[in-house]
A and B are shown apart, each in its own frame.
Chain A
Amino acid sequence: MAEGKASMDELGQVFEQQFRGKPRSPMGDALREFKRNKVAVGSLVFIAVVGFLALFAPLFTPYGYNVQNTAYARAKPMTPYVITTDKYEQCHWKGTPLDFGCTVYILGADGLGRDILSRVVYGARVSLLVAIIGSSVSLIIGTFYGVISGYFGGKVDELMMRIVDFLYALPVLVIIIIMTVYFKALARSGATGFAGFLIDLDQAMGGLLFMFIAIGALSWLGMARQARGQILAHKKKEYVEAARSIGAGSSRIIFKHLLPNIIGPLLVLESLAIPGYIGLEAFLSFIGLGVNPPTPSWGIMISEGYLGIKSNPHLVLVPGTALTLLTLAFNFMGDGIRDAIDPRIHGR
C-alpha cells in the first residue's frame, strides 16, 4: 500500500507541474521542440545572418554589384585592387599582410571585373526574396482556396478541385518557361496600358516580378489540396459543432477555430517547399529566363562562369557554395519545423 501511496504523490506532483504553470499551447510545444534541435536553430541563425547581410548589402560590400573594372577581369581571390602605380608597390600582395588603405578582391572578380563578394551578397537578396514571396503566395492562395473548397463542400468543392486536378496535370516547368519567355518578349517589344505598367515594374525589379508571377501562379496547388484535406478532417469534429451550436458564423469558425488547428501541417509543407523555390530561381536564371542582368543572382553568376571553370573555378565555386549553403540551411530548418510540429511523421 505504501508503494501505491508514493505513486499517488508522484502523480500529484505531475499534476502540479502540468496545471499550476502556464497553459501549454500546441505552438508553444512546437517552439520548445524546435529550440531543442540545435541543427535547425543553427540553420535559422545562418539564414537570419544571410538575410541581414542581404538587407544591408551596401554596408558590407566593398563595391557595388555592377561596378566594372575590366583591368581586373577574372581576378583570382585575394587580388589587391590598386589604381596608381605608386600604390601598386604598397598594395601588391607578396604573401605578406596588406597595408591599410589597400582594397582587395577578397573572392576575386568576374569576367567584367565586378567584385564577386559584392555580387554574391547582393545575389542573396534574390534567393531570399524568392523564398519569401514563393512561400507566402503559395501559403495564402493555397490555404484560402483549399479552405473554401473543403469547408463549403458540395458543388463548389467539386468544381474547385477539378480545376486543381487539371492544373496539376500540366507540366508546370514547361508552362513556367513559356510564360517567362512570353513576359520577357513582351518586355523587349514594349507595351502600353496595364501590361506596360507591369513591364516597367518588372524592369525596376530587375526581372524579378515576372519570375514571382510564374512561380506563384503554380506553386499553390499542393497547398490547396493539403488545406482542403485538413479542413475535411477537422470540420466534422466536436469543437466545430460546439462553436456552431452557440451561433458562430462561417467566417468565425474558419478563422478562429479551424485555421489555428490546421495551420501546423500547412507550415510544415511550406517550409519543406522553400528549397524548391530557391532551386527554381537558380535554374531559371541559369538558362537565361530568370532575373535580368546585371541584377546579380547566383544562378546567373554560375551560368556566366561555368564555361571557364578550368581556368577560373572561383567564378562558379563561390556562388555555388552560397547557393548550396542556403539551400542546406532551409532544408535543415524545414526538417526541424516538421519534427517540431508534426512528431508523427518525423524520421527519428
Chain B
Amino acid sequence: MTRYIIRRFLVSIPVLFAIVLFTFAVVHALPGGPFSNVGEKAMPEQIRLIMERRYGLDKPIYIQFWNYLVMLAHGDLGPLMRMPSQTVNDIVYQTWPVSIQLGTLSVLLAFTIGIPAGILAALRRNTWVDYTATFTAVLGVSINNIVLGPLLILVFGVWLKWFPIAFWGAEPPWILGFLPKPTLNFWWHAVLPVVTLGTAMSATIARLTRASLLEVMMSDYIRTARAKGLKERTVIIRHALKNSLIPVATILGPLLAGVLTGTFVVEQIFALHGMGRQFIMSIEQREYFLLSSLTLLYSVMLVLGNLMVDIMYAWLDPRIRYD
C-alpha cells in the first residue's frame, strides 16, 4: 500500500510540472500583455518597457520560466502587476478559502442527501418513494447551475425573501487560515450558493447509490446471508451497504472536477469573492503570475484530489493495487 501511494505520488510530479510549463507558455503567448493598455488608452511605449523590465518580462521566456520556478520554490506565487500593493499570495489567502468552504459544504450536502435518498429508493424499489426519488434525481442532474442559481435567487431571495441573494457571509481573517467564523450570518448567506452547487452532485450520488445497491442486493452472498436466516435489516446494514458504496467512491474524482466548474459559475452568480471569479478576471487583465499560479493551484487540488480518490479506492478494493 505504501509503495502504491509513493508510486502514485511520484507520477503526479511530472504532471504538475507539465501543467506549469503549459500554462506559462500559453499565458505568455497570449497577444497583449499586462501593460499594453491603461484603461481604454494605449500605454506609452517608454513606460511599458520600464514596467516590463521591472517585472523581468523583457528577459527571454525560458529565463522568465526559471525565475518563476525559483519563486514558486520559495512559496512566492508572484507579484500582481496591475495592483502592486498586493501579491498573488494575498489574493489566494483572501479568495481560496471562500471557494473551499463553498465546495466542501456542497459536497457534504450532496452526500448527506444523496446516499440516504439512493438507499431509500433502492429499498422501496418500484414504489412511489422510488419513482419520486428517481425522477427528482434525473431532474437534479439535468438542471444546470447557471439555471438553478438564478432560479433559487428568484424564488427564495426575491419572491419569498428568505435568504440573501448575494455575497458570502464570511471574510478574512480566517480561523486557522481557511475556516470561516461560524456566525448565523455565514450560514444564512451560504444556503443558496451551497444548494445551487450541491443539487446536481446529490442527484448523481443518489442515482449511483441506488443502482449500486440494487446490483449488490442481487448478488450471491446476499442470498447466502438471507438463507442463513438473517433479518433483512441485518442483511442490508451489515452486508449490502458497505459494498454498495464502493462504486460511489469512484464518483469522487469527476465530482471534484464538477465542484471546480461549479464554483466558477456559482461565485459569478452570487458575486462571491472566490478564486474562480478571480481566475476569470485574471485572464482578461493578463496578470501573468496570477493566472499561472491559480492554474497551478487548481491543478494541485485536482491532482491531489484524484490521488486521494485512487488511494481510497485501492484501500476499499485491494485488487486494484496490483494492476
Contact = CB atoms under 8 A, between A and B. Distances in A.
Interface stretch (A10-18, A54-62, A174-182, A248-256): A174-182
B19 A173 contact: no
B138 A323 contact: no
Contact of B265 (A286, A305, A348): A286
B301 to A, nearest CB: 8
A328 B144 CA distance: 10
B264 A171 contact: no
A268 B146 CA distance: 27
Given A169-B303, A171-B299, A309-B158, A323 B19 contact: no
A306 B298 contact: no
B30 to A, nearest CB: 5
Contacts of B215: 345
B10 interface: no
Interface string A117-158: 000000000000000000000000000000000000000000
A216 interface: no
A327 B150 CA distance: 18
Contacts of B15: 166, 169-170
Given A172-B257, A175-B22, A327 B295 contact: no
B210 interface: yes
Contact of B298 (A171, A179, A323): A171
A224 B144 CA distance: 27
Interface string A296-335: 0001001101100110010011001101100110011001
Contacts, number: 128
A108 interface: no
A49 interface: no
Interface stretch (A23-31, A63-71, A76-84, A275-283): A275-283
Given A178-B295, A181-B30, A186-B31, A283 B147 contact: no
B141 A173 contact: no
A169 B26 contact: no
Nearest to B260: A173
Contacts of A171: 19, 257, 260, 295, 298-299, 302-303
A174 B283 CA distance: 12
A199 B52 CA distance: 29
Interface in B249-306: 257, 260-261, 264-265, 268-269, 279-280, 283, 295, 298-299, 302-303, 306
A320 B138 contact: no
Nearest to B292: A178
Interface in B141-155: 141-147, 149-151, 153-154
B316 interface: no
B101 interface: no
Contacts of A347: 134, 207, 210-211, 214
B147 A166 contact: no
B142 A331 contact: yes
A328 B295 CA distance: 32
A178 B26 contact: yes
Interface in A174-229: 174-175, 177-179, 181-182, 185-186, 188-189
Nearest to A187: B31
Contact of B26 (A165, A182, A275, A327): A182
Contacts of B145: 283
B64 interface: no
Contacts of B306: 169
Contacts of A177: 279-280, 283
A283 B265 contact: yes
B12 A309 contact: no
Interface string B21-51: 0110011011110000000000000000000
B302 A327 contact: no
A8 interface: no
Contacts of A303: 146
A287 interface: yes
A275 B146 contact: no
A174 B142 contact: no
Contacts of B151: 316-317, 320
Interface of B: 11-12, 14-15, 18-19, 22-23, 26-27, 29-32, 126, 134, 138-139, 141-147, 149-151, 153-154, 158, 207, 210-211, 214-215, 257, 260-261, 264-265, 268-269, 279-280, 283, 295, 298-299, 302-303, 306
Given A174-B298, A275-B142, A321-B147, 7 more contacts: A171-B19, A171-B298, A171-B299, A310-B154, A316-B147, A328-B142, A348-B126
Ordered nearest first, which 9 A-B pairs have the shortest CB separation?
Answer: A189-B31, A320-B147, A347-B211, A328-B142, A327-B142, A171-B302, A169-B15, A306-B150, A316-B150
